[in-house]
Amino acid sequence: MGFEENIRRVVPYVPGEQPKDKNLIKLNTNENPYPPSPRTAEAIRQFDPGLNRLYPDPAAGKLIRAIAGRYGLEDSEVFAGVGSDDVLAMCFLTFFNGGKPVLFPDITYSFYDVWAELFRIPYEQVPLDEHFRIRPEDYDRACGGIVIANPNAPTGELLPVEEIERIVGAHPECVVIVDEAYIDFGGESALPLIRKYKNLIVVQTFSKSRNLAGMRIGYAMADASLIRWLNDVKYSFNSYTMSRLAIEAGAACIRDEAYFAECCRRIMETREKSADMLRALGFRLTDSASNFLFATHPDVQAKDIFDYLRGRGIYVRWWDKPRIRNYLRITVGTDREMEVLGEALAEFLRRIATALR
């Protein structure tokens, strides 16, 4: 018998491509098209690099205080990690240890089933309805936990906060994670509910609306008891997750409320213009409250569009998965990037039409 028998075999999450060519139009991983707040650049410039010889604050206090201050919370109600993936992985590991299955939609962030498999957590995927919407009543059953991305990915559909409350309130027996990676693009956060429901944890990220995907910062907000359990697991995994630079840049970033609001406003404006443009080209779209659009075309296979755009240096996201095989997820870029996308799509559709004539 060899050592291979003791190895944990998993099918990992496959992140979107990160091509290094800067001339590409990159609309495939939902990054913010605008640079981070100038205050983060300033924080990095002001940072004394000699301090890097010392461990960071394991509690990332400065960052935690900045986040708590932004949301009107106590420090004890906030947890930070290396991107919201790290935060969510810690949540799965900490909160989902019962024998009953954890529930999440069949079409949602595709890391949820990967974490469940990794940690051997039983789970069931609850089908979205035919309009790719969550039906809260489908979650009215005994379970070991619930995870809802809101807005959902890759559909962009928003569940009203009353529906979130209905799910959370119906499940005092388990922790409900609401993954709000995209909430700042027009959605209403479930955050106020954490003072009412001790089983609710709200997860957000600096990677989308705060323009800092490269820095790796995510956070969770919940009743102090949930945060304490989460910290116990974090301190059993890695004492020092947040680097000194992440703490400094993150704290500076979250204090620049005006820049944050302006970037979100612009992205929402571009989203609506882009949605109109896509509809004019014959695409059908979900009702996205996020920084991406989820689009299908009745006449053309999504995979063919994906390949064509790629050949023209425009990266969008496509999954070879049931139900969504004929959809593209398109990150909202700058106005100019979306115009170039529109021109490429129009050209492709013209060629198809000519070929079919």
Which residues 269-328 are close enough to bind a copy of itself by CB under 8 A?
none
User: Tokens for 185?
Assistant: 């693009």
Q: What share of the chain is helix, strand, coil (3-state, %, to 5)?
A: 45, 15, 45
Cα 297 from chain centroid (whole Å): 25
Interacting residue with a copy of itself among 79, 96, 260, 348 (CB under 8 A): 96
| Binding to a copy of itself, residues 235-264 (CB under 8 A) | 235-246, 249
What is the number of other CB atoms lying within 10 angstroms of the CB of residue 68? 18
Interacting residue with a copy of itself among 25, 27, 36, 309 (CB under 8 A): 36
Q: Which is nearer to a copy of itself, 100 or 273 (CB)?
A: 100
Token pair 């099918």 in the structure block, residue: 11
Residue 232 CB, shortest distance to a copy of itself, in Å, is 5
Residue 135 CB, shortest distance to a copy of itself, in Å, is 23
Token pair 């089933």 in the structure block, residue: 113
Q: Give the C-alpha separation, 21 to 313, whole Å.
A: 9
When computed from its CA atoms, the radius of gyration of the chain, rounded to whole angstroms, is 21
Interacting residue with a copy of itself among 25, 27, 31, 315 (CB under 8 A): 31
What is the number of other CB atoms lying within 10 angstroms of the CB of residue 205? 25
Residue 133 CB, shortest distance to a copy of itself, in Å, is 26
CB 102 within 8 A of CB 125: no
Residue 166 CB, shortest distance to a copy of itself, in Å, is 17
Mask for 126-155, x = binds a copy of itself (CB under 8 A): ------------------xx----------
Interacting residue with a copy of itself among 66, 67, 80, 114 (CB under 8 A): 114
| Binding to a copy of itself, residues 159-178 (CB under 8 A) | 171-175
Q: Which is nearer to a copy of itself, 36 or 277 (CB)?
A: 36
Residue 304 CB, shortest distance to a copy of itself, in Å, is 27
Residue 211 in the binding site for a copy of itself (CB under 8 A): yes
Q: Which is nearer to a copy of itself, 101 or 186 (CB)?
A: 101
Residue 144 CB, shortest distance to a copy of itself, in Å, is 6
Task: Please choose, from the candidates 290, 287, 289, 283, the residue with its C-alpha nearest in 3D space to the C-alpha of residue 328.
Answer: 283
Which amino acid, 144? G
Number of residues that bind a copy of itself (CB under 8 A): 88
Q: Which is nearer to a copy of itself, 45 or 131 (CB)?
A: 45
Q: Which is nearer to a copy of itself, 20 or 357 (CB)?
A: 20
Sign of CA dihedral 300, 302, 307, 312: positive
| Binding to a copy of itself, residues 182-201 (CB under 8 A) | 198-199
Q: Which is nearer to a copy of itself, 111 or 306 (CB)?
A: 111
Task: Please choose, from the candidates 63, 68, 156, the residue with its C-alpha nearest in 3D space to the C-alpha of residue 107.
Answer: 156
**What is the DSSP track for 176-245?**
EEEE-TTGGGT---SGGGGGT-TTEEEEEESSSTTS-GGG--EEEEE-HHHHHHHHHHHTTT-S--S-HH
